[in-house]
Amino acid sequence: MTRDWGLSGTATIGGALLFDSIQLTLAPGWTCLLGASGAGKSTVLRLLAGLPSGASFDGQINRPDRIGWMAQRDLLQPRLTVAQNVMLLGHLAGRRPDPARADALLAAVGLDGFAARRPDTLSGGQRQRVALARTLMEDAPLILLDEPFSALDPATRATMQDLAFTCLQGRRVLMVTHDPVEALRLGNRVQLLHNHRLTDVALPDLTPPRDPALPEMAQAAAALLAQLRGQ
Amino acid sequence: MSRIWGFLAVLALWQLAVSLHFLPIFVLPSPLGVLSALHNNAALLLTNGLITGAEVAAGLLLGLALGIASAIALLLLPALRPILQPVLTASQAVPVFVLAPVLTIWFGYGPAPKIAMTVLLVYFPVASGFLDGLLATPTADLDLALIAKAGRWRSFRWLRLPHALPHLAAALRIAVTYAPTGAVIGEWVGASQGLGYLMLMANARSRVDLMFAALLGIVALTLILQRATDHLLRRFGL
């Protein structure tokens, strides 16, 4: 815990530069990594998670032993029950399953009594709740989120953002997103990956989760969108 | 119930065709003739049906076990995959029936070549279908195994196997319909018992009604196997 988790270095993909000597340090709270498609934000996340990224990386990565991972797809296994899905990473790691904790986490994400259900009986939002419970089950100090809410409808997305923010309090979270409003809503820090570089985005002076209806939020979102479009 | 009317219509036309002497009785027996052949040779048909059934069951179980084992072996030994996977795929295009005489030379006239024929018919679709399913597990799902630092066995048990089971079930459903045909062809090439043998024997004696009765036995065996497999797979939600 004495070390700062994060990534610093340069990555190329197929000989082309992806990002150039960036330094990303993950302080407590939410760091949102924003960028256009193909900017390399998913590569940053996969490198941090120790997953194959297809990029060649030259630099340093510091990560804790245990990581929480949530992807764009919920990755629920259709032939396992909801409870088995919540305990999936424990099963994969060969740890003894803890159904009582799985039930408690399901209740915490608002799915009390869903333990025996199959994923195909759930709605998109409910499925992403199960994925959140599965991530929480690991009790990891660092949580990596790869656009986890981008496939949800706007109302469900806002609910899930609030729920994730509440449930992941006290951990270091890195969320990759291409949605400026989402980044502004949740980020204690927002980093923009653009033109192979990382830049710190100035944030409205409010505590997250910030209300996107406030005028300063709309202004910040508009400014961020302009930056994303390279203006 | 409406399905029955189709069958009855065919049977009625058949009986009519025979009654009106469109075809001589030694070419096409009447349905009632086949029915009485079934009745008069019930014990004979049952004994030989059980023998063919046992060959089919042995071939199915052996072919299934070998197919599953091969798929798992090829999953765990990626070095062998580029060599053996094309063979597995190409073998599906080979009509393995043509091997029946060869199998009889190799394994003699007992049940072994019939079982071997059935094994060949079951093995290739099962091995190839199951391996396809195991390899087609989405990489995003397999990321979870890497996050959890799971070894090959646990990622197989919790991610690849559940993903491949529907593929295995589909392959088995196909294999089961071919299996009895495999055993019967094995019997045609050389046998002293079984429904295929009974067909040839009836043929040599111009007992077309008995031939048809044996044929019905093979159809019944196939349908029973198909239904039983379907029932079993459904119980596992497949």
Whether residue A99 contacts residue A33, with contact meaning beta carbons closer than 8 Å, is answered with: no
Cβ–Cβ below 8 Å for A94 and B163: no
Share of chain B above pLDDT 90, in %: 68
Alpha helices in A64-179, H assignment, sequence order:
82-86, 88-93, 99-108, 124-137, 154-167
Nearest to B75 by CA among B136, B158, B147: B136
Predicted ipTM of the assembly = 0.91
Cβ–Cβ below 8 Å for B154 and A88: no
Cβ–Cβ below 8 Å for A91 and B144: no
The A-side interface with B (CB below 8 A) comprises: 49-52, 67, 69, 71, 73, 75, 77-80, 88-94
What confidence tens digit (pLDDT) does each residue in A201-215 have?
Answer: 888 888 888 888 888
Q: How far is A92 from chain B (nearest CA, A)?
A: 5
What confidence tens digit (pLDDT) does each residue in A82-134 have?
Answer: 999 999 999 999 999 899 999 999 999 999 999 999 999 999 999 999 999 99
Length of chain A: 231
> Cis ω on the peptide bond leading into residue A209 (within 30° of 0)?
yes
Cβ–Cβ below 8 Å for B158 and A75: no
Mean of pLDDT values over A142-167: 91
Cβ–Cβ below 8 Å for A92 and B155: yes
- Pick the residue of A80, A92, A145 with the most B CBs within 10 A to test the interface with B by mutation: A92
Taking the C-alpha atoms of residue B39 and residue A166, their distance in angstroms, rounded to an integer, is 76
Taking the C-alpha atoms of residue B137 and residue A177, their distance in angstroms, rounded to an integer, is 26
> Is B19 part of the contact surface with chain A (CB cutoff 8 Å)?
no
Cβ–Cβ below 8 Å for B158 and A77: yes
DSSP-assigned letters across all residues of B193-234: SSHHHHHHHHHHTT-HHHHHHHHHHHHHHHHHHHHHHHHHHH
Q: How far is A75 from chain B (nearest CA, A)?
A: 6
Of these ranges, A18-22, A141-145, A227-231, B93-97, the one predicted with the greatest mean pLDDT is: A141-145
Nearest to A136 by CA among A69, A82, A43: A69
Whether residue A20 contacts residue A197, with contact meaning beta carbons closer than 8 Å, is answered with: yes
Q: How far is B24 from chain A (nearest CA, A)?
A: 57
State the pLDDT at residue A231.
Answer: 57
Cβ–Cβ below 8 Å for A92 and B143: no
State the pLDDT at residue A93.
Answer: 94
* pLDDT range class, residue A2, cuts 50, 70, 90: very low
Is pTM, for the whole model, over 0.90? no
Taking the C-alpha atoms of residue A98 and residue B225, their distance in angstroms, rounded to an integer, is 41
Which of A52, A79, A93 lies at the smallest CB-CB distance from B149?
A93
CA distances from B81 to B72, B85, B134, B174 (A): 11, 5, 13, 24
> Which chain B positions have a beta carbon within 8 Å of A131's beta carbon?
none
| C-alpha dihedral sign at A181, A186, A189, A191 | negative
Q: How far is B148 from chain A (nearest CA, A)?
A: 5
Which residues in chain B come in under a pLDDT of 50? none
Q: List the Cα angle B123/B125/B129 in 5-degree steps.
A: 120
b/e sequence B192-208, b meaning 16+ C-beta within 10 Å: ebbbbbbbbbbeeeebb
Which of B151, B154, B162 lies at the smallest CB-CB distance from A77?
B162
> Is B143 part of the contact surface with chain A (CB cutoff 8 Å)?
yes
Q: Which residue of A has its CA nearest to B237?
A: A79
Question: How many A×B Cβ pairs under 8 Å?
Answer: 57
What confidence tens digit (pLDDT) does each residue in B41-77 have?
Answer: 999 999 999 999 999 999 999 999 999 999 999 999 9
Which helix (H) or strand (E) segment is B185 a member of?
A: helix B161-189
> Which chain A positions have a beta carbon within 8 Å of B152's beta carbon?
none
3-state secondary structure of A199: strand
Taking the C-alpha atoms of residue A169 and residue A174, their distance in angstroms, rounded to an integer, is 13
Cβ–Cβ below 8 Å for B144 and A75: yes
- Pick the residue of B158, B167, B168, B236 with the most A CBs within 10 A to test the interface with A by mutation: B158
- Pick the residue of B147, B158, B165 with the most A CBs within 10 A to test the interface with A by mutation: B147
Pairing mode of beta strands A189-194, A197-201: antiparallel
Report the Cα B74 to chain-centroid distance in Å: 24
> Which chain B positions have a beta carbon within 8 Å of A52's beta carbon?
146
Phi, psi angles (nearest 5°) of residue B190: 175, 115
